[in-house]
Structures are given as structure tokens and as C-alpha cells.
Amino acid sequence: DAKTTQPPSMDCAEGRAANLPCNHSTISGNEYVYWYRQIHSQGPQYIIHGLKNNETNEMASLIITEDRKSSTLILPHATLRDTAVYYCIVSGNTDKLIFGTGTRLQVFP
């Protein structure tokens, strides 16, 4: 699976959009980009995934660059409850998803 690079931490004001970047320059053609988050020792929560097209669901939007070497997870209106560690995972084999260290997002009032 391709390696991902995420900033260790980010801040965001409540009500603003949170844009979480992820670099995956060695991604291969059959690998998907997955995003999960973990709120303080709770079980990780699936957010969204995509291959090459931008994706949107009720939680977030995923923007993947045309060359697929990077992506951005967008939380359109961050709330305090969105404070969590966000994991970007690139994988072509979902038999085992390997979590990295993620980005710790702090949403402040």
C-alpha cells in the first residue's frame, strides 16, 4: 500500500471549513483513498473513500487531485464534535487497512 503523509495537527474555528490534506505520491492505479476518524479512544469511524473522482456524503467531501498524488478531506462546517484524529489511508487491499499516525484536528469555539 502507498505511504501517506499528513500534518500531525491542525486547528479550525467552529463553523468554518476544515481542510485536511494528505499526500500519497506513490499511489498506484488500483488503490483507493480512505478517510477515518477517531474521537478520543472511541472506535475509529469511516468517513469517506474514493478512487479518482471527488466524492461527497453527509459527513464530508473528498477532493482527489487529477494525478491522484494528494487529496483533501473537507468538513464543510466544523463543530466541536469534529475534534478527532483523522486518518488518511491508501489501499488496494481492504483485507487489512493500515492506519498511520493521522492528523489531530482541534476545533475551537
Q: Which residue has the cell 483513498?
A: 33
Asked whether 36 and 98 are in contact (CB, 8 A), the reply is: no
Sites for another protein among residues 50-89 (CB under 8 A):
87
Nearer to another protein, 79 or 101 (CB): 101
> Which CA distances in Å does 53 have to 8, 50, 77?
26, 7, 22
Q: 3-state class of 11 per DSSP? A: strand
Stretch touching another protein by CB under 8 A, among 2-10, 19-27, 69-77, 91-99? 91-99
Asked if 34 interacts with another protein (CB under 8 A), we say yes
Phi (first) and psi of residue 82, to 5 degrees? -85, -5
- Among 14, 72, 97, 106, interactor with another protein by CB under 8 A: 97
- Among 3, 9, 93, 108, interactor with another protein by CB under 8 A: 93
Query: Helices H, strands E: what count in the chain?
Result: 0, 9
Stretch touching another protein by CB under 8 A, among 13-21, 43-51, 59-67, 68-76? 43-51
Report the nearest approach of another protein to the CB of residue 56 (Å).
15
